[in-house]
A and B are shown apart, each in its own frame.
Chain A
Amino acid sequence: MSERTKHRWAMAIDLDRCTGCQACVAACHAENNLPLSDPESAAKGRAVHWIRVDRYYEGEFPEVKVKHMPVLCQQCDEAPCEPVCPVYATYQNAEGLNVQVYNRCVGTRYCGNNCPYSVRFFNWFDPVWPEPLQLQHNPDVSIRMGGVMEKCTFCIQRIKRAENDAKDEKRDVADGEIQPACAQSCPAEAMVFGDLNDPESKVSRMAGSGRSTRLLEELGTKPKVFYLQRGA
Chain B
Amino acid sequence: MAAISEPVVANAARAQLWRPLLHTSARYRMVVALLAAVTLWGLFAWGYQLKTGIGVAGIRRPVFWAIYLVNFVFWIGISHAGTLISAILRLTDAGWRKPVTRAAEAITVFALMIGGMFPIIHLGRAWLFYWLFPYPTERLLWPNFRSPLLWDVTAISTYLTGSTIYLFLPLIPDVAALARHTTGWRRRVYRALSVGWTGSDREWHALEFAMKLMAGIILAVAVSVHTVVAWDFSMSIAPMWHSSIFGPYFVAGAIFSGIAALLIAMAVIRRTLHLEAYLTEHHFNNLSKLLLLMSLLWFYFTVAENLTAWYGNEPKEMAVFGARVRGPFAPYFWAMVICNFVVPFVLLGIRRLRTIRTATIASVCVLIGMWLERYLIIVPTLSYGRLAATWGKYAPTWVEISISAATFTTMALLYLIFAKLFPIIAIWEFETEVMEVSSVS
Contacts and interface: CB of A to CB of B under 8 A. Distances in A.
B386 A116 contact: yes
A118 B387 CA distance: 8
Nearest to A52: B389
Contact of B236 (A84, A107, A117, A148): A84
Contacts of A52: 389
- A-B pairs with the 7 shortest C-beta distances? A107-B124, A124-B55, A147-B124, A118-B390, A109-B64, A125-B53, A54-B389
A88 B124 contact: no
Contacts of A87: 131-132, 141, 143-144
B387 A86 contact: no
Contact of A80 (B55, B128, B141, B237): B237
B237 A114 contact: yes
Interface stretch (B148-156, B209-217, B335-343): B148-156
Nearest to B397: A44
Interface of A: 41, 44-46, 52, 54-56, 71, 80, 83-88, 104-110, 112-114, 116-118, 120-126, 146-149, 216, 219
7 contacts: A84-B236, A86-B150, A87-B141, A88-B144, A109-B122, A113-B382, A118-B62
Most central of A54, A85, A108, A149 by chain B CB within 10 Å: A108
Interface string B226-265: 0000001001111000000000000000000000000000
Contacts of A149: 124
Most central of A105, A110, A118 by chain B CB within 10 Å: A118
Contacts of A112: 61-62, 64
Most central of B53, B64, B382 by chain A CB within 10 Å: B64
Interface in B381-428: 382, 385-390, 392-393
Nearest to A116: B386
Nearest to A219: B237
B131 A85 contact: no
B387 A106 contact: no
Contacts of B131: 86-87, 104, 106
Nearest to B394: A45
Given A113-B64, A118-B61, A88 B143 contact: yes
A146 B64 contact: no
B64 A83 contact: no
A84 B65 contact: no
B357 interface: no
Contact of A46 (B55, B124, B146): B55
A114 B237 CA distance: 6
B236 A113 contact: yes
Contact of A125 (B52, B141, B146, B235): B52
Nearest to B378: A113
Given A44-B60, A54-B389, A84 B129 contact: no
B220 interface: no
Contact of B60 (A45, A110, A126): A45
Nearest to A112: B64
B40 to A, nearest CB: 24
A110 B122 CA distance: 11
A109 B122 CA distance: 9
A216 to B, nearest CB: 6
B330 interface: no
B50 to A, nearest CB: 10
A104 B140 CA distance: 13
Most central of A83, A105, A124 by chain B CB within 10 Å: A124
Contact of B385 (A86, A106, A116, A125): A116
B180 interface: no
A123 B55 CA distance: 8
Contact of A146 (B55, B122, B141, B382): B55
Contacts of B63: 45
B274 interface: no
B147 A85 contact: yes
B120 to A, nearest CB: 10
Contacts of B393: 45
Given A84-B149, A118-B61, A124 B54 contact: yes
